[in-house]
Amino acid sequence: MNSRLLLASLITWLAGCDRPGVPHGAQPVAHDSLAWTQSAFNTNCRGCHSQGAEGAALPLMNANYWAVATDAVVIEAIAHGQGRSMPAYLDDEGGPFTPAQIVSLVQGMRSLWGAKGSATGGEGGAISPRVIAGDAGAGAAVFSQACAGCHGPQGSAGSVIDPMYLRLISDQGLWSATIYGRSDLGMPSWSQTMPNRPTGLTAQEVADVVSFISSHRGIAQKASDGP
Ligand code: HEC
Ligand code: HEC
Protein backbone atom coordinates (compact mmCIF):
# COMPACT_ATOMS: atom_id res chain seq x y z
CA MET A 1 0.00 0.00 0.00
CA ASN A 2 1.43 3.41 -0.81
CA SER A 3 1.83 5.95 1.95
CA ARG A 4 -0.85 8.28 0.63
CA LEU A 5 -3.42 5.53 0.69
CA LEU A 6 -2.20 4.51 4.11
CA LEU A 7 -2.59 8.05 5.39
CA ALA A 8 -6.03 8.39 3.81
CA SER A 9 -7.25 5.21 5.42
CA LEU A 10 -5.72 6.17 8.74
CA ILE A 11 -7.57 9.48 8.61
CA THR A 12 -10.84 7.72 7.79
CA TRP A 13 -10.19 5.32 10.58
CA LEU A 14 -9.31 8.02 13.09
CA ALA A 15 -12.37 10.06 12.07
CA GLY A 16 -14.45 6.94 12.62
CA CYS A 17 -13.58 6.97 16.29
CA ASP A 18 -15.66 10.07 16.95
CA ARG A 19 -18.81 8.87 15.26
CA PRO A 20 -21.36 7.23 17.52
CA GLY A 21 -22.12 3.67 16.57
CA VAL A 22 -18.90 3.20 14.64
CA PRO A 23 -16.73 0.79 16.56
CA HIS A 24 -13.16 1.72 17.33
CA GLY A 25 -10.96 0.49 14.51
CA ALA A 26 -13.92 -0.12 12.18
CA GLN A 27 -11.76 0.30 9.08
CA PRO A 28 -8.52 -1.41 9.92
CA VAL A 29 -5.63 -0.75 7.58
CA ALA A 30 -4.30 -3.87 5.87
CA HIS A 31 -0.92 -4.42 7.42
CA ASP A 32 0.14 -7.89 6.51
CA SER A 33 2.54 -7.28 3.64
CA LEU A 34 6.22 -6.41 3.50
CA ALA A 35 5.29 -3.57 1.17
CA TRP A 36 3.18 -2.11 3.98
CA THR A 37 6.10 -2.52 6.41
CA GLN A 38 8.53 -0.77 4.09
CA SER A 39 6.13 2.06 3.46
CA ALA A 40 5.20 2.47 7.14
CA PHE A 41 8.90 2.49 8.00
CA ASN A 42 9.73 5.05 5.32
CA THR A 43 6.93 7.33 6.46
CA ASN A 44 7.36 7.05 10.22
CA CYS A 45 10.84 5.89 11.09
CA ARG A 46 13.39 6.28 8.34
CA GLY A 47 14.13 9.93 9.05
CA CYS A 48 15.73 8.94 12.35
CA HIS A 49 16.62 5.27 11.85
CA SER A 50 18.07 5.34 8.36
CA GLN A 51 21.19 3.45 7.47
CA GLY A 52 24.43 5.40 7.61
CA ALA A 53 25.64 8.52 9.33
CA GLU A 54 22.65 10.72 8.50
CA GLY A 55 20.32 8.99 10.96
CA ALA A 56 19.84 10.42 14.46
CA ALA A 57 19.24 6.97 15.97
CA LEU A 58 20.33 3.34 15.59
CA PRO A 59 20.11 2.11 11.99
CA LEU A 60 17.38 -0.57 11.97
CA MET A 61 17.91 -1.76 8.40
CA ASN A 62 20.72 -3.97 9.62
CA ALA A 63 20.85 -7.69 10.50
CA ASN A 64 23.18 -7.08 13.45
CA TYR A 65 20.49 -5.05 15.17
CA TRP A 66 17.89 -7.77 14.72
CA ALA A 67 20.35 -10.30 16.14
CA VAL A 68 20.39 -8.51 19.51
CA ALA A 69 16.82 -7.28 19.78
CA THR A 70 13.88 -9.47 20.76
CA ASP A 71 10.42 -8.80 19.31
CA ALA A 72 9.00 -8.03 22.74
CA VAL A 73 11.55 -5.31 23.39
CA VAL A 74 11.19 -3.72 19.96
CA ILE A 75 7.39 -3.72 20.20
CA GLU A 76 7.65 -2.03 23.59
CA ALA A 77 10.02 0.64 22.23
CA ILE A 78 7.74 1.47 19.30
CA ALA A 79 4.51 1.41 21.30
CA HIS A 80 5.68 3.75 24.04
CA GLY A 81 8.48 5.70 22.36
CA GLN A 82 11.78 6.73 23.92
CA GLY A 83 11.35 9.65 26.27
CA ARG A 84 11.63 12.90 24.41
CA SER A 85 13.69 11.51 21.56
CA MET A 86 11.09 9.26 19.87
CA PRO A 87 7.29 9.53 19.94
CA ALA A 88 4.93 6.72 21.02
CA TYR A 89 3.31 4.96 18.06
CA LEU A 90 0.49 3.17 19.88
CA ASP A 91 -2.98 4.56 19.11
CA ASP A 92 -3.87 4.69 22.82
CA GLU A 93 -0.91 7.01 23.33
CA GLY A 94 -1.77 9.28 20.41
CA GLY A 95 0.18 7.33 17.81
CA PRO A 96 -0.97 6.02 14.41
CA PHE A 97 -0.78 2.24 14.97
CA THR A 98 -3.01 -0.38 16.57
CA PRO A 99 -1.24 -3.04 18.65
CA ALA A 100 -1.71 -5.51 15.77
CA GLN A 101 -0.07 -3.08 13.35
CA ILE A 102 2.92 -2.63 15.63
CA VAL A 103 3.36 -6.41 15.81
CA SER A 104 3.14 -6.63 12.01
CA LEU A 105 5.64 -3.82 11.62
CA VAL A 106 8.15 -5.57 13.86
CA GLN A 107 7.68 -8.96 12.20
CA GLY A 108 7.95 -7.32 8.80
CA MET A 109 11.15 -5.46 9.69
CA ARG A 110 12.66 -8.68 11.01
CA SER A 111 11.79 -10.48 7.75
CA LEU A 112 13.14 -7.63 5.64
CA TRP A 113 16.38 -6.96 7.47
CA GLY A 114 17.08 -9.68 10.04
CA ALA A 115 19.24 -12.68 9.30
CA LYS A 116 17.41 -16.01 9.44
CA GLY A 117 16.92 -17.10 13.03
CA SER A 118 18.39 -13.85 14.30
CA ALA A 119 16.07 -13.62 17.31
CA THR A 120 18.11 -16.29 19.02
CA GLY A 121 21.24 -16.77 16.94
CA GLY A 122 23.43 -14.63 14.74
CA GLU A 123 26.62 -12.76 15.51
CA GLY A 124 25.51 -11.20 18.78
CA GLY A 125 23.24 -14.11 19.65
CA ALA A 126 25.38 -15.29 22.55
CA ILE A 127 24.09 -12.35 24.56
CA SER A 128 20.63 -12.27 26.00
CA PRO A 129 20.34 -9.11 28.07
CA ARG A 130 17.39 -10.47 29.98
CA VAL A 131 19.17 -13.48 31.45
CA ILE A 132 22.53 -12.09 32.59
CA ALA A 133 22.42 -10.04 35.77
CA GLY A 134 24.81 -7.10 35.67
CA ASP A 135 26.98 -5.89 38.52
CA ALA A 136 27.31 -2.11 38.55
CA GLY A 137 30.51 -2.18 40.63
CA ALA A 138 32.27 -4.46 38.17
CA GLY A 139 30.80 -2.36 35.36
CA ALA A 140 32.50 0.78 36.72
CA ALA A 141 35.87 -0.85 36.08
CA VAL A 142 34.86 -1.99 32.59
CA PHE A 143 33.67 1.52 31.84
CA SER A 144 36.85 3.25 32.94
CA GLN A 145 39.00 0.79 31.00
CA ALA A 146 37.10 0.18 27.78
CA CYS A 147 34.74 3.14 27.36
CA ALA A 148 36.09 6.21 29.15
CA GLY A 149 38.82 6.75 26.57
CA CYS A 150 36.11 7.78 24.09
CA HIS A 151 33.30 8.80 26.43
CA GLY A 152 35.21 10.72 29.07
CA PRO A 153 35.65 9.83 32.74
CA GLN A 154 32.76 9.61 35.15
CA GLY A 155 30.85 12.85 35.55
CA SER A 156 32.23 14.64 32.52
CA ALA A 157 29.79 16.62 30.41
CA GLY A 158 28.21 14.82 27.48
CA SER A 159 29.14 11.42 28.87
CA VAL A 160 26.77 8.49 28.51
CA ILE A 161 26.55 8.40 32.31
CA ASP A 162 25.40 12.01 32.42
CA PRO A 163 21.96 11.85 34.11
CA MET A 164 20.57 14.29 31.53
CA TYR A 165 21.58 11.94 28.72
CA LEU A 166 20.06 8.97 30.55
CA ARG A 167 16.66 10.63 30.47
CA LEU A 168 16.72 10.23 26.70
CA ILE A 169 17.70 6.58 26.44
CA SER A 170 16.05 3.41 27.77
CA ASP A 171 17.95 0.47 29.24
CA GLN A 172 17.19 -1.37 26.01
CA GLY A 173 18.85 1.53 24.18
CA LEU A 174 21.96 1.10 26.34
CA TRP A 175 21.99 -2.65 25.70
CA SER A 176 21.59 -2.19 21.98
CA ALA A 177 24.24 0.51 21.73
CA THR A 178 26.76 -1.50 23.74
CA ILE A 179 26.17 -4.80 21.95
CA TYR A 180 25.56 -3.52 18.48
CA GLY A 181 27.83 -0.47 18.53
CA ARG A 182 27.26 2.55 16.36
CA SER A 183 29.29 1.74 13.29
CA ASP A 184 27.63 4.74 11.64
CA LEU A 185 29.25 6.98 14.29
CA GLY A 186 32.51 5.17 14.99
CA MET A 187 31.59 3.21 18.11
CA PRO A 188 32.73 -0.46 18.19
CA SER A 189 30.31 -3.32 18.85
CA TRP A 190 30.80 -5.53 21.91
CA SER A 191 32.92 -8.05 20.01
CA GLN A 192 35.29 -5.53 18.41
CA THR A 193 38.56 -4.06 19.65
CA MET A 194 38.30 -1.41 22.41
CA PRO A 195 40.86 0.16 24.74
CA ASN A 196 42.16 -2.59 27.08
CA ARG A 197 39.83 -5.10 25.36
CA PRO A 198 41.54 -6.24 22.14
CA THR A 199 38.89 -8.92 21.52
CA GLY A 200 35.95 -6.91 22.79
CA LEU A 201 33.84 -7.52 25.89
CA THR A 202 32.49 -10.72 27.39
CA ALA A 203 28.74 -11.11 27.75
CA GLN A 204 29.11 -10.59 31.50
CA GLU A 205 31.06 -7.36 30.95
CA VAL A 206 28.28 -6.05 28.70
CA ALA A 207 25.75 -6.76 31.44
CA ASP A 208 27.99 -5.12 34.05
CA VAL A 209 28.71 -1.95 32.11
CA VAL A 210 25.05 -1.46 31.16
CA SER A 211 24.11 -1.93 34.78
CA PHE A 212 26.76 0.64 35.79
CA ILE A 213 25.54 3.22 33.27
CA SER A 214 21.91 2.62 34.20
CA SER A 215 22.67 3.00 37.90
CA HIS A 216 23.16 6.73 37.26
CA ARG A 217 19.44 7.07 36.57
CA GLY A 218 18.77 7.02 40.30
CA ILE A 219 21.00 10.07 40.65
CA ALA A 220 18.98 11.81 37.91
CA GLN A 221 15.74 11.06 39.73
CA LYS A 222 17.01 12.26 43.09
CA ALA A 223 18.33 15.47 41.53
CA SER A 224 15.01 16.27 39.86
CA ASP A 225 12.94 15.35 42.93
CA GLY A 226 14.47 18.36 44.67
CA PRO A 227 14.87 18.85 48.43
C1 HEC B 1 36.40 4.15 19.85
C2 HEC B 1 35.56 5.03 20.63
C3 HEC B 1 34.45 4.43 21.46
C4 HEC B 1 34.54 3.43 22.41
C5 HEC B 1 35.75 2.64 22.81
C6 HEC B 1 33.20 3.32 22.99
N7 HEC B 1 32.35 4.19 22.38
FE8 HEC B 1 30.38 4.41 22.82
N9 HEC B 1 30.19 5.79 21.33
C10 HEC B 1 31.23 6.23 20.53
C11 HEC B 1 30.69 7.17 19.55
C12 HEC B 1 31.49 7.91 18.51
C13 HEC B 1 29.29 7.24 19.82
C14 HEC B 1 28.27 8.06 19.07
C15 HEC B 1 28.38 9.51 19.37
C16 HEC B 1 27.46 9.96 20.40
O17 HEC B 1 26.33 9.43 20.52
O18 HEC B 1 27.79 10.93 21.09
C19 HEC B 1 29.04 6.38 20.94
C20 HEC B 1 27.78 6.22 21.50
C21 HEC B 1 27.52 5.46 22.63
C22 HEC B 1 26.23 5.36 23.28
C23 HEC B 1 25.02 6.13 22.88
C24 HEC B 1 24.31 5.51 21.74
C25 HEC B 1 23.07 6.30 21.34
O26 HEC B 1 22.44 5.85 20.41
O27 HEC B 1 22.75 7.32 21.95
C28 HEC B 1 26.38 4.52 24.33
C29 HEC B 1 25.29 4.10 25.32
C30 HEC B 1 27.74 4.09 24.35
N31 HEC B 1 28.40 4.68 23.30
C32 HEC B 1 28.27 3.21 25.28
C33 HEC B 1 29.58 2.75 25.24
C34 HEC B 1 30.11 1.78 26.18
C35 HEC B 1 29.31 1.16 27.30
C36 HEC B 1 31.41 1.58 25.83
C37 HEC B 1 32.41 0.67 26.48
C38 HEC B 1 32.04 -0.72 26.57
C39 HEC B 1 31.69 2.41 24.66
N40 HEC B 1 30.56 3.10 24.35
C41 HEC B 1 32.91 2.45 24.02
C42 HEC B 1 32.55 5.87 20.61
C43 HEC B 1 33.06 4.89 21.44
C1 HEC C 1 12.36 11.59 15.90
C2 HEC C 1 13.27 10.50 15.71
C3 HEC C 1 12.73 9.09 15.77
C4 HEC C 1 11.68 8.55 15.05
C5 HEC C 1 10.78 9.24 14.07
C6 HEC C 1 11.63 7.16 15.41
N7 HEC C 1 12.61 6.88 16.31
FE8 HEC C 1 12.99 5.06 17.12
N9 HEC C 1 14.38 5.92 18.35
C10 HEC C 1 14.83 7.21 18.27
C11 HEC C 1 15.84 7.42 19.29
C12 HEC C 1 16.63 8.70 19.51
C13 HEC C 1 15.97 6.18 19.98
C14 HEC C 1 16.85 5.84 21.20
C15 HEC C 1 18.29 5.89 20.97
C16 HEC C 1 18.77 5.27 19.70
O17 HEC C 1 18.27 4.20 19.29
O18 HEC C 1 19.69 5.85 19.11
C19 HEC C 1 15.04 5.27 19.35
C20 HEC C 1 14.90 3.94 19.70
C21 HEC C 1 14.19 3.00 18.98
C22 HEC C 1 14.20 1.59 19.23
C23 HEC C 1 14.93 0.92 20.36
C24 HEC C 1 16.29 0.64 19.82
C25 HEC C 1 17.09 -0.16 20.78
O26 HEC C 1 17.78 0.47 21.56
O27 HEC C 1 17.04 -1.39 20.72
C28 HEC C 1 13.43 1.00 18.28
C29 HEC C 1 13.13 -0.48 18.11
C30 HEC C 1 12.91 2.05 17.44
N31 HEC C 1 13.40 3.25 17.89
C32 HEC C 1 12.09 1.84 16.37
C33 HEC C 1 11.46 2.85 15.69
C34 HEC C 1 10.44 2.65 14.69
C35 HEC C 1 9.99 1.30 14.18
C36 HEC C 1 10.03 3.89 14.32
C37 HEC C 1 8.91 4.22 13.36
C38 HEC C 1 7.63 3.60 13.63
C39 HEC C 1 10.81 4.88 15.04
N40 HEC C 1 11.65 4.21 15.87
C41 HEC C 1 10.73 6.25 14.90
C42 HEC C 1 14.38 8.18 17.40
C43 HEC C 1 13.31 8.02 16.55
pLDDT at 7: 43
Task: Kindly list the protein residues whose Cβ atom lies closer than 6 A to any atom of ligand 1.
Answer: 58, 146-147, 149-151, 160, 169, 174, 177-178, 182, 185-188, 194-195, 201, 209
The per-residue pLDDT for range 74-101, each reduced to its tens digit, is 999 999 998 778 899 999 999 999 999 9
Nearest protein CA to atom 20 of ligand 2, as residue: 82
| Contact present, 133 and 207 (Cβ < 8 Å) | yes
**Taking 80 as the threshold, does the pLDDT of residue 120 lie above it?**
no
| Ligand 2 pocket test, candidate residues 10, 42, 71, 86, most atoms within 8 A of CB | 86
**Taking 80 as the threshold, does the pLDDT of residue 184 lie above it?**
no
In whole numbers, what is the pLDDT of the chain averaged over residues? 76
| Contact present, 189 and 179 (Cβ < 8 Å) | yes
CA distances from 150 to 85, 126, 166, 169 (A): 23, 25, 17, 19
pLDDT at 142: 95
Half-sphere exposure of 214 (CA within 13 A, CB side): 18
**Taking 80 as the threshold, does the pLDDT of residue 200 lie above it?**
yes
* More confidently predicted of 32 and 103: 103
**Taking 80 as the threshold, does the pLDDT of residue 54 lie above it?**
no
Confidence of residue 30 (pLDDT cuts 50, 70, 90): low
Comparing 29-33, 66-70, 158-162, the range with the smallest average pLDDT is: 29-33
